Chains A and B, each alone.
Chain A
Amino acid sequence: MLEATLEDLQARALERIRGARSMEELEAARVEALGRKGALGHISKELGKLPPEERARVGRLLNAVKQCLEESFEARRKEFEEEALRRRLEAEWLDLTLPAPEPKRGHFHPVTQVQAEIEDLFTSLGFTVLDGPEVETEYHNFDALNIPPDHPARDVQDTFWLTDGNLLRTHTSPVQIRGMERFKPPLRMIAPGRVFRNEEVDASHEHTFYQVEGMMVDREVSVAHLIYFMKLMVNAIFRREVAVRLRPGYFPFVEPGFELDMQCLLCEGAGCPACKHSGWVEMIGCGLVHPNVLRMSGIDPEEWMGFAFGLGLTRLVMMRFGIDDIRYLQSGDLRFLHQF
């Protein structure tokens, strides 16, 4: 009797499992058959009323039915889960070629980039990075650099004078003086910064541009040491071996003074309009620190020697990136700046 009920129950439950159209229907069928108050539970309560031999037989059958139904439920449940996952995956298709949300990363100014490289290089060589004011005294910009009033060298640098008698520094060289006033020798420093010359602006001239000043004062500092650092710097900036030449150049604050030319990278020294057909490009003014300059900053030139250099950072940046018009650098034009 019970056996027939069980078989019937199994058939009906299997029918419902197969026919379930959702997880909810399946769950309802499961509760009805296997739940605590479900059909199988009900039968198992009846089991106790049977005689022992029959009880064992029906009990085995009950367990078999229960196991069969549980497996079926589980299989069907898995089917539903897999289907749900499949649908979710299908629905979650994403066009990865769409752009990432704004904002995009910004851009460092090209001068900032090259300046940072130079700072890092010299810092790694034991140079400190110093800063000086953009508004300078006549003393620091000229007198202390061995350029007395009415020296023709003052003509070379068209100066912006201020109504208070100060001036806009025409070079970063006054930071040499400030460096020597602040630190005792031995001293190794560089000073990148903004400088000003009262010049008409065109594609290759600006009234505002950037230089890097450098200085080393120690017991033994020679032209050979200067050449060593200059070559190191040029090769590091251009990331290759660049031919350089040193020739006499006149700067009142160094003696001897040099111009350092590097071989034109555009024509490899063959001569082109960029290098005025000379094959060489003027890049750095340098020399051994003039004893008057050391003395004026309270350093005994009989005890200490030094070299100093001034690098045209703006020109370097233009060469590095192939910029043909200096005016872009301070234009604030994002069509230009977004390229860096």
Chain B
Amino acid sequence: MKFSFNWIRQLTENLHVSPQDLGRLITTKTAECEGVDAYGEHLAHVCVARVLAVEPIGSGRNKKVLVETGRYGLKTVVCGAPNCRPGMVSAYVPPGTRLDGREIGVAVIDGVASEGMLASGAELGINRDASGILELDGEPGAPLPGCEPDHVLEIDNKAITHRPDLWGHHGLAREVAAITGAALREPVRLDLLPEGAAPVRVEIEDLELCPRYSALALENVTVGPSPLWLQYRLQAVGLNPINNVVDVTNYVMAELAQPMHAFDWDLLRGPAICVRPARDGERLLALNEQEYRLDQRDLVIADARGPIALAGVIGGLDTGIHEGTRRIVLESACFQASSIRKTSSRHKLRTDASMRFEKAQDPVNTVRGLARALELLRQVCPGIRVAGGVADAGRPLPVPPSILLPVEWLCRKLGRAVEPAEVTRILKRLGFGVEEAEPGALRVTVPSWRATRDVSIKDDLVEEVGRMIGYDAIAPQAPAVVVAPPPPSPERLFHRAVRRTMVELGFTEVYNYSFVGEEQARRFGMDPADHVRVANPIGTDRTLLRRSLLPEIFENILENSKHYEHFRIFEIGREIHKQPAGLPREIPHMMAAIYSRQGVEDGLMELKRAAEHLMEGCELCPGFSRSYEHPARAGSVVWRGTVVGRLFELHPSLLEGRAAVLDLDLQVMLALQEDGKRYRPIRRFPASAFDLSVIADRRELAANLSRQLADLAAPELEAITYLRQYSGPPLPEGKKSVSFRLTVAAPDRTLSSEEVGAIRARIIEGMRARGYDFRL
């Protein structure tokens, strides 16, 4: 939202602060001011000038023009404007002036030295008319009437969504007055409003949707351009000057935050203006020349024929002001914020009016807007006169809420002492009514422009007082609270430990998006229908929420393989699983990958090592493989009897090189953590060890052999360790020999060599009975 510094100065008295300082003050006390920019700086040098002589030069449109500039004397300029003619009065820009960031110099055009230029309204930033040079009245040398250099303050719209009053200059001027101690001027003279019966009738069907609708009819209207000062004002705050009637409605909106609309009275049909929900299928051709198809959720202003405006959003083209308009009806109304917001977003049509109405405007303001518009129209539209009194329909105005404010409580909230007199002074400057209700408590009455949504409870007043005394006036203070360790967060600590282990093992942590596309899901064997789906995705590759970290990890592998021969990555992220009802399940997973372009690094075993670092004693159980897994290099990770994840190599058809992947369910892992460790006494009698080499089929699992040996060695078995495996001569084709070291012991004595020999013999015999042979 743009604010003119000159406008604010005009609405205050004794404002002695620079635009930049004001911007800073507004930021720290009211709402963020994102910038303060000089506007129309060049107008200090521009003056009125009379064209004395015009002489064609060259073959184009350019003419050599002699102008009397008063201030700067007689000047010769080159001008290409079609309306440039002897005797006219226009605007002269002397050399050395900066226009739009460009310095005007003495330029030789078609052989003629142009000492400055004559300028259009668009070039001067007064309006958007670039069709010719400005047409003015007045004496050469005079400044352009009402067009002084200004500054524009840009206030962040997001910072004032709760402040309907700050969508107009008067509201901001009130803040400025409260901040600086300047006095606030009242721009509205309600006494100007005519008495008597209104010539138009207003009917409101639903007072919830339209709490108030005020209208004023005027006649003997002459539509034409506004005076320069009005055009310049609007242009400075980003509003487009159109004609005197429309400009006045926009001016009032920018000043009082009261959106207004002007209808051509002669184009309205029937005796009444009706505010009602649209009928399904009704259409409105709007001022922006777009046609809108309406339904009963939209509120419209209608005459006997149908909709003439989409309430609070935009007027209709057919009943708008045009050059020949002689009689007008001014609308100044108040609409329900949420209804306007819905209509505006449904039709994707945000206008200056709808932006204000959706902030919940003050119903008191409607007639104020009419009074101010009447005053201005009398200035810019000579001969205009009212046709009867004000039509004012609506429900009774709400009673201003009052809030009991205990001053001691306020001080506790702020953490700083504030005198009741100071509180009273601050609130009064902001327009609140304040009186002492009881000792130590104030009765605060909320002004109508703050009461629509913004201020309703005493906490809201803490903000008013706090921001005005200034938050930098509050000293930081440590709270006095009970000292106690916070409740633990076991999941966080566990995830941290996993991260640390993975980083120590050489893995680098990546973060990936929670989104995947359908194609990505399908590639990894997942049905898009099983995913939670985004209704308004950012792109077709981001339509689903991930059920697996794999698709994105796979992308990471492909991308990084362009730059690295081999690497290790991991991610801790959530899988999101659709549920029949309620929120989806979010399951934290850790996925790690090792890539090697040459396929040399033994990624699978390195990942198995990582799994063992995370879960001492975990096991790999091959058995089946999925479509994207290497069929001979895949297995489930089992820990303490529970499947916790998968370890596999990606199917060689998916990429060049080798990529091994470990996927662990951190939720299951956390549940399997043991906390109760107990000490076992260290054995007092020495143990004995011997090695055994079992001959088995080449695909026999080592874990299977180990388990059988262990079964047979029980109960004396202390430990069994894999040593090595061998295949080749003299072993027959398809066989391998797997060696283990077994350690055996008894709890109460040293086993004799005979006893150890007997155990060994028992194992060998047992294995032979199961069909295994030994290399002895």
Spell out A's residues near B (CB within 8 Å). 102-109, 111-112, 116, 119, 123, 126-131, 133-137, 149-153, 155-156, 160-164, 166, 168, 183, 186, 188-189, 194, 196, 198, 200-201, 207-208, 216, 218, 220-225, 227-228, 231, 245-250, 252, 255-259, 276, 288, 290-291, 305, 329-335, 337-338
Pick the contact of A168: B460, B508, B514, B556 (CB < 8 A). B514
Inter-chain contact A183/B487, CB cutoff 8 Å: yes
Contact of B499 with A112 in the complex, beta carbons under 8 Å = yes
Cβ distance B529 to chain A, nearest Cβ, rounded Å: 11
Give 6 A-B contacts (CB < 8 Å), ordered by A residue: A108-B499, A152-B358, A198-B536, A222-B413, A223-B474, A250-B158
Given A166-B583, A194-B514, A288 contacting B462 (CB threshold 8 A): yes
B151-168 interface with A by 8 A CB criterion: 158-163
Besides A109-B510, A128-B489, A186-B482, 5 new A-B residue pairs in contact (Cβ under 8 A), listed by A number: A106-B505, A134-B514, A216-B479, A227-B415, A255-B457
When the two chains form their complex, are residues B485 and A228 in contact, meaning their CB atoms are under 8 A apart?
no
Q: In the complex, which residues of chain A have a beta carbon less than 8 angstroms from the beta carbon of B72?
A: none
Smallest CB–CB gap between B633 and chain A, Å?
20
A284 to chain B, nearest CB (A): 13
Task: Assess whether B279 is interfacial by the CB under 8 Å rule.
Answer: no
Known: A116-B496, A223-B474, A224-B416. A332 touches B552 (CB 8 A): yes
Contact with A along B554-591 (1 / 0, CB 8 A): 01100110011011111000101010000110100000
Given A150-B338, A163-B534: A247 and B28 interface contact (C-beta under 8 Å): yes
Least Cβ distance of A289 to chain B in Å? 9
User: In the assembly, what is the distance between CA of A164 and CA of B437, in Å?
Assistant: 52
The answer to whether B503 and A246 touch across the interface, beta carbons within 8 angstroms, is no
- A338–B568 Cα distance when bound, in Å, is 11
Q: Are A223 and B466 in contact (CB under 8 A)?
A: yes
- Determine if A276 and B34 form an interchain contact, defined as CB atoms under 8 angstroms apart: yes
**Complex Cα–Cα for A331 and B552 (A):** 10
Q: Which of A134, A153, A198, A246 contacts B161 (CB 8 A)?
A: A153
Chain A CB count within 10 A is highest, among B457, B472, B475, B489, for B489
Q: Does A248 contact B29, Cβ atoms closer than 8 Å? A: yes
Among B359, B502, B566, B574, the most chain A Cβ lie within 10 Å of the Cβ of B574
B32 within 8 A of A: yes
Q: Does B533 contact A (CB under 8 A)?
A: yes
Q: Which residues of chain B (9-48) have a CB below 8 Å from chain A?
A: 27-32, 34-35
Within 8 Å of chain A (Cβ to Cβ): is B459? yes
Partner of B460, one of A107, A135, A255, A333: A255
Is B479 a contact of A135 with CB atoms below 8 Å?
A: no
Whether the Cβ atoms of B341 and A255 lie closer than 8 Å is no
**Nearest A-chain residue to B475, judged by Cβ:** A224
| A224, B474: Cβ atoms closer than 8 Å | yes
Nearest neighbor of A125 in chain B, beta-carbon distance: B486
Task: Known contacts A186-B481, A225-B478; decide if A337 and B471 are in contact (CB<8 Å).
Answer: no
Partner of A332, one of B477, B512, B514: B512
**Chain A nearest CB: distance from B575 CB in Å?**
11
- Assess the A218–B481 pair: CB atoms within 8 A: yes
Interface string of B455-496 (1 = CB under 8 A from A): 001011011001100011011111111111111110110001
Residues in B whose Cβ lies below 8 Å from that of A104 = 506
Q: How far is the CA of A146 from the CA of B661 in the complex (A)?
A: 45
Q: Does B504 contact A (CB under 8 A)?
A: yes
Q: Please, which residues of chain B bring their CB within 8 A of the CB of A338? A: 508
Minimum C-beta distance from A277 to chain B (A)? 8
What 7 pairs between A and B have smallest CB-CB spacing? A224-B415, A103-B506, A222-B415, A256-B463, A150-B338, A332-B556, A246-B471
Q: How far is the CA of A106 from the CA of B536 in the complex (A)?
A: 37
Quick one: closest A residue to B342, CB to CB? A150
Check A134–B413 contact: CB distance below 8 A.
no
Cα separation A137 to B567 with both chains bound (whole Å): 39
Residues of B contacting A162 in the complex (Cβ-Cβ under 8 angstroms): 532-535, 545
Shortest B427–chain A CB gap in Å is 14
- The reply to whether the CB of B414 lies closer than 8 angstroms to some CB of chain A is yes
Kindly identify which residue among A160, A183, A290 contacts B536, using a CB–CB cutoff of 8 Å: A160
Asked, given contacts A107-B508, A258-B471, whether A223 binds B503 with beta carbons under 8 Å apart, the answer is: no
B538 within 8 A of A: yes
Q: What is the minimal beta-carbon distance from B340 to any residue of chain A, in angstroms?
A: 9
- Return chain B residues, CB-CB under 8 Å to A207: 538
Q: Is B677 close to A, CB under 8 A? A: no
Once A128-B489, A247-B471 are accepted as A-B contacts, the answer to whether A102 and B413 lie under 8 Å apart by CB is: no
Find the residue from B338, B415, B532 having the highest chain A CB count within 10 A: B415
How long is the Cα–Cα vector from A332 to B549 in the complex, in angstroms? 13
Query: Would you call B506 and A332 a contact (CB within 8 A)?
Result: no
Contact, CB under 8 Å: B471 / A223:
yes
Q: A135-B576, A334-B567 are in contact. Are A257 and B479 (CB under 8 A)?
A: no
- Contact across chains for A222 and B414 when beta carbons are under 8 A apart: yes
Q: Which residue on chain B has the smallest CB distance to residue A338? A: B508
Q: A103-B568, A107-B503 are in contact. Are A250 and B457 (CB under 8 A)?
A: no
The answer, yes or no, to whether B92 is at the interface (CB within 8 Å) is: no
Q: Is the CB of A228 within 8 A of B512?
A: no
Any A CB within 8 A of the CB of B513: yes
**A105 cross-chain contacts in B, Cβ below 8 A:** 503-504, 506
Residues in A whose Cβ lies below 8 Å from that of B506: 102-106
Bound form: Cα–Cα A333–B508 in Å: 10
B507 lies within 8 A of chain A by Cβ = yes
A162 vs B34: C-alpha distance in the bound complex, in angstroms?
A: 34
- Whether, in the assembled complex, B511 has its beta carbon less than 8 Å from a beta carbon of chain A, the answer is yes
If A106-B506, A150-B341, A163-B533 touch, whether A225 touches B477 (CB-CB below 8 Å) is yes
Least CB distance, B410 to chain A, in whole angstroms: 10
A153 to B30, CA, bound (A): 17
Could you tell me if A255 and B463 are in contact, using CB atoms closer than 8 angstroms?
A: yes
Min CB distance, A17 to chain B, in Å? 44
Tell me the smallest distance from the CB of A58 to a CB of chain B, in Å. Answer: 51
Smallest CB separation, B534 vs chain A (Å): 6
Question: For the complex, what is the distance from the CA of A183 to the CA of B499, rounded to whole Å?
Answer: 28
B724 contacts partner chain A, Cβ-Cβ < 8 Å: no
Q: Mark B75-112, 1 if CB is under 8 A from A, else 0.
A: 00000000000000000000000000000000000000
CA distance A278 to B105 in the complex (A): 33
User: A221 to chain B: closest CB distance in Å?
Assistant: 7
Cβ of B477 to closest chain A Cβ, rounded Å? 4
Q: Are B586 and A291 in contact (CB under 8 A)?
A: no
Chain B residues near A130 (CB-CB < 8 A): 489
- Report the separation of the CA atoms of residues A210 and B38 in the bound assembly, to the nearest whole angstrom: 37
B412 interface residue (CB < 8 Å to A): yes
Bound complex: CA of A186 vs CA of B484, how far in Å?
11
Cα-based distance from A196 to B481 in the complex (angstroms): 35
Q: Which residue of A lies closest to B535 (CB)?
A: A161
From known contacts A131-B491, A248-B30, infer whether A332 and B510 are also in contact, taking CB-CB under 8 Å.
yes
Partner of B486, one of A116, A188, A332: A188
Q: Let me know if B560 and A334 touch, CB within 8 A.
A: yes
Contact of B338 among A149, A189, A218 (CB under 8 A): A149
- The interface residues of chain A lying within 8 Å CB-to-CB of B552 are 332
A228 and B479 within 8 A (CB): yes
